Structure 1
């Protein structure tokens, strides 16, 4: 059976060019970058070259880029490290209600240490309103962390505008750019970003490596103590093969970015239009205009999400119902609840995220499989039968009045 992988927001396959670049650093050039003999110094040199490459892709200086084990560590380090280092200036933080749990759980941990956190609401598309952000800033606000693009519904936030507001009030601005890095143009200086988290495995690089950009002058406590690696800021022997692979994957992503963005955008919109036109009681989640080019997220009435995913998997279509980090949870997505969906709609959600190898034929097969799956599941739903006979009111009907995109 053919398998169609449409969960690239969860993880991506490593590109062959990336594997090729990494291989020597597992075997022949396996030195520790902290060693002073030539084998170690060769490793130190390639780490430095990778740092320069990645820094250049976001408009940063190489000394402002620190390697981590991934986006989650980078988020933890940025938020906890900054909050603890600057608690004397204030103990109030701002984030949004739709952040990845790497940010939300980090903020919750800081609340146990006596920090206060404001969780900003979002509009029906998942956008943080600049006026809400400005109103939430207090004299003791020291840090704001707003994601660049949402991992579930793909909404791209107005980062430059939010960062400008933060700086007007002397607030440092961090963004979790894990879903956007390598897919959307990012210039930390032009956009006013003070700290940024990114991850390799979302851009066809290896798992277990990421980065944290910290603007020069921003005071952040060390997060992992140990040796003098990362200029004394993060102990642990560097993951040389992973760092090399991350840099190579980022180079390739940057070279392909414009063409791949346009190609995925056409496929994404084709999928969205087909679902809206051909599947009853379907709601597009997130902004259509301000959205990642590969993200399709819908909720379907009279459907339970787990059954939908299992039947699609049996047809060879790999998709998700939201963040991969919460796929084992039976609770509805916090993101979908934050944009105003009732529980009964949020439970029937589907996320398709397209990738480099996705074709129009793949998208059509996935939509056809989705149509068949939903028809099968709804045949077993007494609520759907009652709805067809006019015995119950549809939640979709209530959402129509609120301007949510929906299918007839």
Structure 2
């Protein structure tokens, strides 16, 4: 096993990679079904179901504002674990993925802004191509099996985790509506109570979930997007293990994370993809297909991500501020940079926040995200496959057991 996988976080990371990879393949299938449904005789039923109201919200809003809060709860748990007890727990481990993630967010956003500089309303979507879909990316990586060094999966996961943090901050700072002070105060009180429970050592999960639900309702009414409640609640869930128990078995954070993983990977994220990837191509005009929004997103994901991440990795390694991942070469890193351009879930989500659901821009966002993500997936797969073939020829690829093959 490579050095990066040794230690108490190994089994947690291994389980994460397996779940995310399989979930990514399910997500790919869900997105394909959405496109088929939107462009078939079932399109009326498909869009009608999404806009059907169940209580105060439509089905689409329940998915985007409700179920995605659970997705962000899991993202927050993963982020906290990686920073405190995982592959981002030291500054040495954070250096390479941190620089790569920052450049991989800044360059795509700059490309989008440059393409849409003359259209002020479209500039609101600057953060759309800055996101990476870890499930989708690892799903593509899973198709290559053991031909890819495990260190690359760790690097891609670390980049995506830091990328998620950037997306969360962007949502909180730039995609929240006018604030309502009283509900916001209620949300803050709920989070403070959860932090107090963690401080006094409460390790049962139900108080965190029950009070977290109240925080979600208050956040929904406050003007800050409700999914931010998931992240805030996650930050309060204790990580401290109980002596004498197996790794992570007694930690509330680990228990909740392990229970949520299958639900999110095989339920919530594919459902989100099915609800948001459907775009009807018939009747779309040139602006929707070739305008600044879709071109900026596609160029940001496909061009901006790979040059931003690869450039940052080159600089960090050449300056000896970080080391090349074990068993990898520059072609491998280029493949990872390309796969990071798969923005699907988070990009679509930010697109909804940026432009809403009405008009032509939401369809333009979907087209740009689908085009950029598909190009990145195909190019990344091809690059890593060619790197794996070269690696096997020269015997420089390590398999998951740490032996050369």
Q: TM-score scaled by structure 1?
A: 0.26
Q: TM-score scaled by structure 2?
A: 0.26
Tell me which protein shows more helix as a share of its residues: 2
Structure index of larger Rg: 1
